[in-house]
Chains A and B, each alone.
Chain A
Amino acid sequence: MYLSDLTKNQQAKVVRVGCERALACRLADMGLRKGAEITVKPDAPLGDPMHLMVLGYDFTLRKKDAKHIVVEVL
């Protein structure tokens, strides 16, 4: 399952971050890396980007990029 498939209030664990190098590195800096737990909050009013919670703080990611992150629903 991919992060982009999740809907609000779902929780998941990151299995693999398959984004391109610079983004993968930036996400790792922000705490979104293999093994991290993610909570999905409601998307932006126009349906994109996603509103995510990692390590207890909130941030945004577009669905286009979330498509490359493999997760396991908790």
Chain B
Amino acid sequence: MKKFTIALAGNPNSGKTTIFNNLTGAHQHVGNYAGVTVEKKEGICNYCDYELNIVDLPGTYSLAATSLEEIVSRDFLIDTKPDVVVVVLDSANLERNLYLAVQLIEMKLPLILLFNMCDVSKARGIEFDLARLSKLLGAPIVESIGRKHMGMDKLKKTIVKVAEAQSIPEVKIQYGDDLEKEIYNISKLLEQYETNLIKHYPAKWLAMKLLDHDLDLQKKITSQEVLAQLKKSTTIIEENYGDYPEIAIADMRYGFISGACQQTIKQTIEKRHEISDIIDAVVTNRILGIPIFLFLMYLTFQFTFTLSEAPMGWLESFFGWLADFISSLWPANSHSDLKALLVDGVIGGVGGVLVFVPNIMLLFLAISLMEDTGYMSRAAFIMDRLMTKVGLQGKSFIPMLTGFGCSVPAIMATRTLENRKDRLITMLVVPLMSCSAKLPIYMLLIPAFFETSIQPQVMFGIYLLGVFLAIICAWILRFTIFKGEITPFVMELPIYRMPTLRGVLIHMLEKSWEYVKKAGTVILAISIILWFLSTYPKKTEFSKNYDILIEQATNIADKHELENQKKAELVEYTLASRVGKLIEPVIKPIGFDWKIGTALIGAFAAKEVFVAQLGIVYSEGETDEDSQSLRDILKQSYGSLVAVCIMVFCLISAPCMATIAVTIRESGSWKWGAFQLIGLTVMAWIVTFIFYNVGMFFSWGVS
């Protein structure tokens, strides 16, 4: 079996992901490019006697090296030298899509042009003279409709043909006499002084890219002669052309494209109102735009929370059954540490987290629906004005919304922000968007302390508080640490599309899987550690001889009372309680006791552990945990003010370890991770302090 490496390149919104899914099916692997955090998707496609390893490059408009994605794509193409590069093009938007293809022609790689979405271009009355266009662009053209699986066989066949022949585009982009001359001058010097570099990069291409203001490649040049010539050439072009050299080069590329298109593309019907324009006229309407946006956000939450109720109930019963089943493996009423570890530690901890999988799946389903239809970029468009007021920008909106699901993918989604300041601000405030892992805490406390009629309002209030604080923090950061202009907002508004079931499902499953993986690894480990902390050391000498007293007790009430006292002594003796007590002086002013403190230590590692930990702390202090749920115990112990304070503190305080880790990775410095951790925790304490003291002053919910 022969193996080939195929790179898939293309603009965002060109349907590249659909083509990738079509080719690789379920055989996908998501990783990272070496050393950077850009996602690398790979998959295998078997065709006849060939094994095609398909690499999905990040979607970019250019290879200008202005973003990490562009640098990664360019380096991959140069370092790996894929056997074939398939450029996925939106054939209804050909000119701009060909701009990337031209840059690949410049790189002299074996190329296939995939004219995707040809149903859309046909509907628009665009007719191509494919044979001629293919000749002018120097590469075979295959037509496809990704969402209908059309053209895939032809594509695979062409891939194999091009890979075997290693045919590279034999066309030359004409940059004009001035540019050609300067490219020549620079390349001569490169051949002379940068012998190592040109083993890697072709000299003429490198010279052109240096003029194209590729700062990443410029940094690699050590020879002063080359740099001096580059400066000289740049001045000459600027004088002759009246613009920066990279603009001159862009003009030449577009000149080449429109030359090729003019001869081969016919528009048979005049452009008329398209469905997309009609939808836009409604959803971005001056009056209706914002109400529709708010309604859709509301709908997203309703949809997520209402539909997830039933499956969450099933999961709960399943884990309950599992706990009972494991307990039944031991003789009744026996005390075994292993049983306790499995039932209370593992199932209690991991099960308590996995119960929220339906919720997360539905939230990501809603988010992928908005992304795949094209509404997400409209939301950024609508929100930009408001977001700029607080020092963010429209594109920050998407990570912020994802933050309601999980901070980890949300912080990863900040990669779409090209400017570092914008990106860091967004990254730092994302954890204030109440993630779904904090939801178990609210779901536990709200029904316990509030009447059914006001439960949704309390929940909404917590979320709103998070959004409000995120705005304030972003505003403060923008005018202190990250002073400076907000970057330009150049964003494509793709046409509206009907999402495909497959595309949405793959997107949703990928994100949910990240959450499950976290539950299976980090949270499992933490649950076990916390169980140990809250079980050991075991107290052997008690203040009274409980065993004898319990046996002697005459009525059941006394018996229970004594058992409770014994368990309370046991719990107080453990490490977790000792740490909880150690931090009690710090958390006392915000209304927390050592039991909440113990649970907060768990939450520090991962938010969802709070509930499990509270359960462990309390179930041991109570005799009859089967008949009395955690909620009742809490209600007996605290007033609703403390419940609110817990929620507020958990909302704001240090995000989970995974979030901090991602912030460190994505910001490239542990300092930002530490800043986020400390800043948010201090703020949580202050805000909770205010809540608690105001509440105490007016005696709200103190009982």
Q: Do A and B come from one complex?
A: yes
Shortest CB-to-CB span from B566 to chain A, Å, is: 64
Pair B489/A25 contact, Cβ less than 8 Å: no
* Contact residues in B for A55 (Cβ distance below 8 Å): 93, 95-96
Bound state CA distance, A47 and B290, in angstroms? 12
Of A23, A27, A34, A57, chain B has the most CB atoms within 10 Å of the CB of A57
Contacts beyond the supplied A21-B244, A23-B488, A42-B281: 17 A-B pairs with Cβ under 8 Å: A19-B488, A24-B247, A25-B244, A26-B64, A30-B96, A30-B492, A31-B95, A33-B254, A41-B277, A41-B280, A44-B385, A45-B290, A56-B95, A58-B493, A60-B381, A62-B489, A65-B488
Query: CB of A51 within 8 A of chain B?
Result: yes
Query: CB of A22 within 8 A of chain B?
Result: yes
Q: Within residues 1 to 39 of chain A, which ones have a CB less than 8 A from any CB in chain B?
A: 17, 19, 21-31, 33-34
* A28/B246 contact (C-beta < 8 A), A44-B284, A56-B95, A60-B489 known: yes
Pair A45/B488 contact, Cβ less than 8 Å: no
Q: Scan B370-382; emit 1 where CB is below 8 A from any A CB, else 0.
A: 0000000000011
Shortest CB-to-CB span from A51 to chain B, Å, is: 7
Question: Which bucket holds chain A's interface residue count?
Answer: 35 or more
Query: CB of B397 within 8 A of chain A?
Result: no
Q: Within residues 230 to 258 of chain B, which ones have a CB less than 8 A from any CB in chain A?
A: 243-244, 246-247, 250-251, 254
Pair B250/A33 contact, Cβ less than 8 Å: yes
Closest to B60 in A: A29
Closest to B493 in A: A58
Bound state CA distance, A28 and B254, in angstroms? 9
* Contact residues in A for B394 (Cβ distance below 8 Å): 49, 60
Contact of B384 among A17, A48, A57 (CB under 8 A): A48
Question: Which bucket holds chain B's interface residue count?
Answer: 35 or more
A-B complex: 8 closest residue pairs judged by Cβ atoms = A45-B289, A28-B250, A46-B385, A58-B493, A29-B62, A57-B93, A55-B95, A65-B488
Contact of A25 among B66, B93, B495 (CB under 8 A): B66
Shortest CB-to-CB span from B541 to chain A, Å, is: 70
Query: CB of B36 within 8 A of chain A?
Result: no
Contact of A44 among B96, B246, B384 (CB under 8 A): B384
Closest to A64 in B: B488
Pair B491/A60 contact, Cβ less than 8 Å: yes
Closest to B293 in A: A45
Pair A45/B491 contact, Cβ less than 8 Å: no
Pair B247/A33 contact, Cβ less than 8 Å: yes
* Contact residues in B for A23 (Cβ distance below 8 Å): 488, 490
Query: CB of B99 within 8 A of chain A?
Result: yes
Pair A30/B490 contact, Cβ less than 8 Å: yes
Shortest CB-to-CB span from A24 to chain B, Å, is: 6
Bound state CA distance, A47 and B313, in angstroms? 46
* Contact residues in A for B62 (Cβ distance below 8 Å): 29
Bound state CA distance, A22 and B67, in angstroms? 11
Q: Scan B414-426; emit 1 where CB is below 8 A from any A CB, else 0.
A: 0000000000000
* Contact residues in A for B489 (Cβ distance below 8 Å): 49, 60-62, 65
Pair B382/A60 contact, Cβ less than 8 Å: no
Query: CB of B286 within 8 A of chain A?
Result: yes
Closest to B212 in A: A25
